[in-house]
A and B are shown apart, each in its own frame.
Chain A
Amino acid sequence: MSDIDLNLQIWRQKKSDSPGAFETYALDKISTEMSFLEMLDVLNEKLTKQGLDPVAFDHDCREGICGMCGTVVNGVAHGPEKEVTLCQLHMRNFKDGDTLVIEPFRSRAFPIRKDLLIDRSAFDRIIQSGGYVSVNTGGTPDGNAIPIPAQTAELAMDAAACIGCGACVASCPNGAAMLFTSAKVSQLCLLPQGQTERKQRALDMVATMDKEGFGNCTNERECEAVCPKSISIRNIARLNREYLMAALSEG
């Protein structure tokens, strides 16, 4: 355990349509036991006490599952440690005297609302266009009536683990949302429950993804590299296949 001094450069922007700029803040004696968000809390308390506007940033669960937090730290979504969200990133990953450039997740489809806080509702609209099995409540068969091999369940779970944080989009040089979309399509196309709507789902979700202004995938693999839940681009391959089959027969 030790304390470090940091130099922060944080993107400040008042509203969606106002211009933004970097502000520099010096922060001393940050315990390396702190999480990144706790470091920002300390900064915000300090700013508040100085009568300045604290930095707006999204967060909720602070244990890496809700997908609400996330900024780009020195060019890397969720910062330098692998497989963690920003809220799980601890300050021991940094050294005394480091400069941290902190920017919001940027994408044409994720407008900035204030400072580091963005609007990811485009993700919701992708799910709304088909990321479900159309069953109403009640009248469903017994859970064991649909046997699912353990391996299949595990593969589906690998994909379903996505927390929708948007780091994939933020890190993609093209701002593509393929990893996110493919995770949901994969989960459902692997499971027997998802078969009925399989083709339409792939077509609709991809159409929405394109409409929302995300870029095209060029297989850069950055998304997989920063994903806090290690969602694999194997899901993207699966989506490509699903889409092709669907487009050739139903599109």
Chain B
Amino acid sequence: MAEEKEGLTTAEVLRKTRTYGQVRCHNPSCLGRLQPEPGADRVKCPVCGMEFRVTWIKSGFPRIRGPVWDVNVKIAEEAFQRKMKEEKKDGPQ
């Protein structure tokens, strides 16, 4: 039988980084920790600028419900225009 592993398990390693009262930005390249104001229904990521609607599972436990569409759609459109311009300059990567 395999012996117990020494040191910390993956669960323990990750548990150390667990935070409460915060949510992670949905942008996979950002994943910034966002701390909505208590009771707020929106939160803006200070790092990447994406904005999300917030729901509260209970007091102190926020969850992202979904994007603030108008804001994030605009960010996406700008990013797309920018990248297409860059691509024309450098040719396809």
Pair from one complex: no
Give the interface of B toward A (CB within 8 A).
none
